[in-house]
Structure formats: C-alpha cells, structure tokens
Amino acid sequence: MKASEFLEKFRRPNFTCDICGREVFGGERICRRCNEALPRIGEKCCPICGRVQHAEGICLECKQTRPLFEAARSLFRHEGEAARLVLRYKNGEKYLSRTILELLLPRFKEFPEADAIAFVPMTARAERARGYNQSRLLAEGLAQKSGLPLLSAAEKVRETDEQKSLGRRGRQKNLEGCFKITEKKAVEGKTILLIDDTLTTGATANELTKQFLAAKAKKVFVLTVTSVGDPTSADPARKRPGSD
C-alpha cells in the first residue's frame, strides 16, 4: 500500500458496527458480516403489501381486503437483528436514524412516481415522551437526500392503545378517526410516499392513506424498514419484538 493510500484510509471516520460493536474502518455503520446477515426482502413478495411469501402473486391477506395504498415495500423481514435494530431505534437510540437511512436509500429509488414524502405522526404527548418521532426523522432524511418536499400535513388527534397488544381487527378499530389532514392543499394531487418503521397488519398505513385520499391525494405508496411476513403474527399470542 502506498503511503498516500494508507493516510487516506485513516483520514476516514472510524465507527463501530451498530449491530455487533466491531470496529469498522471504511466509514460504514454496519460491518460487512452483519450487513450480509440482515434478512433482506427480495423479489418474492406480495406486489401490494410487499410482505415475503412463498407463492407468486398477491398474498391472501391483500386478496381478502385490498389495502387503500397503492403498494408497500420493506427493506427487511421483521425478525432477528433487523427487528432489534428497529426496536433500539424506537426506544431511545435516535442516532440509528442515520444508519437506517443509509440502508433505506436503495429501496427508496423504487418509487419514482412519488413527488412528496410523508410520515406517520405521533400525538404531541407521545412525541415528548419518546423525544422524537422515529418515522419523521427517516422521512426528513429521505426528503433531504432526494429533494422531494416533506409533508407535515397529517396530525394524530388522539392517543391510541399500544398496537402490539392487538390483532388485525383490534388495530383497525383502535386507529379509526385518530388521524386528520391539517393542510389539504398541500396534499391535493400529490403522489405521496409514506414512511414508517414497521408494517405489521398495515392498519396504520391504511388509515392514514384513507385520510390522504379523502384530501384528494393522487396515490399513496408506503416504505418501511421492516415488515412482518405473516400478519397473523400481530396477534397477542404470536408477538414479535418491536412490531407496531
């Protein structure tokens, strides 16, 4: 190695892997070993909700009840280190937004139709308790990277029961009427990319999509970090770590 190359290597910021804690030297936030082990979702997924499935075509859940959003995609299956990464991010490790944003960027490019970015809002009380809105941080980062406008046009108007303790029907009922659009002109005619951390049953994304469409949005797409492969695992008896 030439002296100049050696010096350049050590001018780069050094980090430790955000998953295993090993030191990394190329500026990456997740080491190669952990990155390759993350449960990425490939092409074999439902074309509507984006969940992993073994058969081709639309999944049974989407056949039974077609979501209001146009399509959803997730980066990882909600399991193992991917699920733990999301849980840590939601439970105080705010700095992980930079790591997750870097991971999301390639998947973000699959939505060329989007002309605005939105996020799942929290009540003011819930956001104060957590200290930040994890979905908004990711949406802000994607807006900054892409140059697309960030919409803050939705508001959560009431507290809801914790979603992870509820099944599909309970989640839907829990969320009814909890969102409202505060800036309808900002939404009208837009193709919106909605950002959230995890898609479980899709109830949150669907309820918010309903409000966007009522405000005359053109279409809504959804992008999340993880998704639960089998929505029935959202039932209390089959909970997974950190799923909403």
Q: Is the pLDDT of residue 242 over 50?
A: no
Strand partners, 173: none
Whether residue 226 has pLDDT greater than 70: yes
What pLDDT, on a 0 to 100 scale, did the predictor assign at position 169?
Answer: 62
Q: What is the 3-state secondary structure (H, E, C) of 42-108?
A: CCCECCCCCCECCCCCCCHHHHHCCCCCCEEEEEEECCHHHHHHHHHHHCCCCCHHHHHHHHHHHHH
The pLDDT tens digits for 133-161 are 999 999 999 999 999 999 999 999 887 65
Residue 243: per-residue pLDDT: 44
Percent of the chain past pLDDT 70, that is, above it, reads: 82
Task: List pLDDT tens digits, range 12-50.
Answer: 456 899 999 999 887 889 999 999 999 999 888 999 999
Contact in structure between 19 and 30 (CB atoms under 8 Å): yes
pLDDT digits (tens, 9 = 90+) for 164-182: 555 556 556 667 778 999 9
User: Which tops the pLDDT comparison, 231 or 199?
Assistant: 199
What proportion of the chain, given as a percentage, has pLDDT over 90? Answer: 68
Assess whether pLDDT exceeds 80 at residue 239: no
Q: Please compute the mean of the pLDDT values over residues 115-138 and round it to a whole number.
A: 95
In this predicted model, what pLDDT tens digit does every residue of 180-207 receive, in sequence order? 999 999 999 999 999 999 998 899 999 9
Going along the chain from its start, the domains and CATH numbers come out as 1-37 (no CATH), 40-238 (3.40.50.2020)
pLDDT in the model for residue 158: 80
For 87, residues 6+ apart whose C-beta sits below 8 A from its C-beta are: 241, 242
Confidence of residue 240 (pLDDT cuts 50, 70, 90): very low
The Cα 36–Cα 39 span in angstroms is 8
Q: Higher-confidence residue: 12 or 70?
A: 70
Question: What values do phi and psi take at 222, rounded to 5?
Answer: -130, 135
Q: For residue 96, give both structure tokens.
A: 């992980």
d(CA 104, CA 134): 14
Bridge partners of residue 193, in order along the sequence? 117, 221
How far apart CA 78 and CA 199 sit, in angstroms, is 9
